[in-house]
Amino acid sequence: MVVEPMAGDSLAENLHPVGRIYYAFSTSICVPASLGQEVGAALGAQAGEARLRDVMLQGGFSKFRKATATPFNMVLEARP
């Protein structure tokens, strides 16, 4: 189970007050932290479900679904 900020797959889907706050956090915290890791995907706080699905499937998981969502978070389930 992974809890991620609620984000759409495109920039246009994220241009609302909550999305703007997540982009601000992403720029100053999430992206730099990711770039400091070996993989360095730098997905930030607005990766969206489609990109997260790709990352999890590339990481070896074979099943993926959005279990639930709120206006602020989505809960994703990945299984081997």
pTM for this entry: 0.84
Domain of residue 72, residue span: 2-79
What's the CA gap between 52 and 55, in Å, rounded?
A: 5
pLDDT at 46: 84
pLDDT at 38: 87
> Total structural domains in the chain?
1
pLDDT at 3: 95
What's the CA gap between 31 and 16, in Å, rounded?
A: 20
Closest CA to 25 of 5, 45, 11, 42: 45
Residue pLDDT tens, the chain, 80 long: 999 999 999 999 999 999 999 999 888 988 898 888 888 888 876 889 999 999 999 999 999 999 999 999 999 999 99
Sequence-separated (6 or more) residues with CB below 8 Å from residue 35: 42
pLDDT at 58: 93
Do residues 3 and 75 touch, judged by C-beta distance below 8 A?
A: yes
3-class SS at 12?
A: helix
